[in-house]
Amino acid sequence: MMAHTNNLTLLPNQGWDERILICRNDELVQVFIVVTDRYVVLVDTLINPATAQKLVE
């Protein structure tokens, strides 16, 4: 099993709707972010408070 880190990577858009962003926490978790004119919706808050804070930053 892979050791967990708090690294986040923004994945490149592979042709999906440009309002959808995907960040990955190593190979463990992906978070989907939907950005509209009025809202930013996080579909997952990642694995722990530290990764969630990095996402906000």
Q: Decide which of 12 and 53 is more confident.
A: 12
Please tell me the distance from the alpha carbon of residue 4 to that of residue 33, in angstroms, as a whole number. 22
The pLDDT, as a whole number, for residue 36 is 95
The pLDDT, as a whole number, for residue 1 is 54
Please tell me the distance from the alpha carbon of residue 15 to that of residue 6, in angstroms, as a whole number. 27
pLDDT in tens, 9-19: 999 999 999 99
pLDDT band at 47 (very low <50, low <70, confident <90, very high): confident
Please tell me the distance from the alpha carbon of residue 23 to that of residue 21, in angstroms, as a whole number. 7
The pLDDT, as a whole number, for residue 2 is 63
Report field, pTM of the whole predicted structure over 0.85: no
